[in-house]
Amino acid sequence: MQTKKLTFRNAWLPYLLLAPQVIITAIFFLWPAGQALYQSLLRQDAFGFNTTFVGLDNFTRLFQDDLYVNALQVTLIFSVGTTLLSMSVALLLAVLVNRMLRSRDTYTTFLVWPYAIAPAIAGILWWFIFNPSIGILPYFLEMLGISWNHRSNGNQAMLLVIIAAAWKQISYNFLFFLAGLQSIPHSLIEAAAIDGANKFKRFWTIVFPLLSPITFFLMVVNVVYAMFDTFGVIHATTEGGPAQATNILVYKVYRDGFVSMNLGSSAAQSVILMAIVVLLTVLQFKYIERRVNY
């Protein structure tokens, strides 16, 4: 990694400049991460008196634990659902807004602000809208003959948290898709039009492939978002229920560590989550550098 050709020469100043960032990283990032690794190899008895070294036992127990396997599945469904819903709506809106000349900025303004809403608040908003007794949507669903109750129906609870999480993320995806669409040279699309390709053909054979780097980038970002930033959505609404139906991994780490005080297991779960983040980050950097197919 390069610096400027011409640099300052000073024996201690660069270290001093880096010190705040590095010290905070060491105390609040690296040390806890190390602790998680260490604790994941230990087990405490129920009263916290005895700690024994158990090797990888915490990990093998996790994968034999039905609740953890359930949380893995729930997280998978939740992440894929949130990513697909949010990205497809955002892509549709971005393609349409990109056609507009005069109204483009107005539509954009209306579509970007949900980015500012905290996940927990997004959750509470949709929790209210879907509230079985006073919410507005169950009232309409009732007319269609669907009875809605996310407090007892696990699938409906899952749908609720997916909608809440995806809603908040639409703005983000929209802005990136719009930026991507605007960077596609107009001449390409006109050339295809001259060759007689209709709108849908033009979209699927030219625009969409050219968007693939952005699409891929957004997929990784959205999966990371759905896996790690949606703690608030779950905690403020379903609290993992009903019957574990929305108990995503991040929420389970919190519950096991703080409510059940099962430190060894919680630490092992942290380590698995870290491995997932590392994988996703590497994936992102590797492919963003290479720029998928062009």
Partner 1 sequence: MVDNDRWGNLLAHCILIVGVALVVFPIYIAVIASTHTGSTFLSGTLPLLPGKEAWTNYTTVIFEGRSRAGTPPIAQMLWNSFIMAMAITIGKLSISLLSAFAIVYFQFRFRLFFFWIIFLTLMLPVEVRIVPTFQVVADLGMLNSFAGLSIPLIASATATFLFRQFFMTIPEEMLEAARVDGAGPLKFFKDILLPLSITNIAALFVIMFIYGWNQYLWPLLITTDPSYYTIVMGIQRMATGGDSEPLWHLVMATVVVAALPPVLVILFMQRLFVKGLTETEK
- What part of residues 152-171 is at the interface with partner 1 (CB under 8 A)? 167, 170-171
CB under 8 Å to 263, separation ≥6 — which residues?
39, 42, 44, 257
CB under 8 Å to 242, separation ≥6 — which residues?
150, 151, 152, 153, 154, 157
Binding mask 62-81 vs partner 1 (x if CB under 8 A, - otherwise)?
--------------------
CB under 8 Å to 243, separation ≥6 — which residues?
154
Instruction: Determine if 228 is a binding residue for partner 1 (CB under 8 A).
Output: yes
Instruction: Determine if 121 is a binding residue for partner 1 (CB under 8 A).
Output: yes
Q: What is the DSSP letter of 152?
A: T
Say how many C-beta atoms besides its own lie within 10 A of residue 92's C-beta.
12
Instruction: Determine if 88 is a binding residue for partner 1 (CB under 8 A).
Output: no
Candidates 9-17, 46-54, 65-73, 78-86: pick the segment binding partner 1 (CB under 8 A): 9-17
Site for partner 1 in 28-47 (CB under 8 A): 28-33, 35-36, 39
State whether the Cα torsion 279-281-286-288 is positive or negative.
positive
Distance CA 146, CA 91 (A): 29
Distance CA 203, CA 200 (A): 5
Which of 152, 205, 277, 291 touches partner 1 (CB under 8 A)? 277
Using a 10 angstrom Cβ sphere, with 0-12 exposed, 13-18 middle and 19 or more buried, the burial of residue 61 is middle
Which of 69, 100, 146, 243 touches partner 1 (CB under 8 A)? 100
Instruction: Determine if 188 is a binding residue for partner 1 (CB under 8 A).
Output: no
Using a 10 angstrom Cβ sphere, with 0-12 exposed, 13-18 middle and 19 or more buried, the burial of residue 64 is exposed
Q: Return the number of the residue (158 or 253) whose C-beta is nearest partner 1.
A: 253
Find the shortest distance in angstroms from Cβ 64 to partner 1. 22
Which of 42, 72, 84, 124 touches partner 1 (CB under 8 A)? 124
Instruction: Determine if 10 is a binding residue for partner 1 (CB under 8 A).
Output: yes
Which of 96, 147, 182, 183 touches partner 1 (CB under 8 A)? 96
Candidates 48-56, 79-87, 149-157, 264-272: pick the segment binding partner 1 (CB under 8 A): 264-272
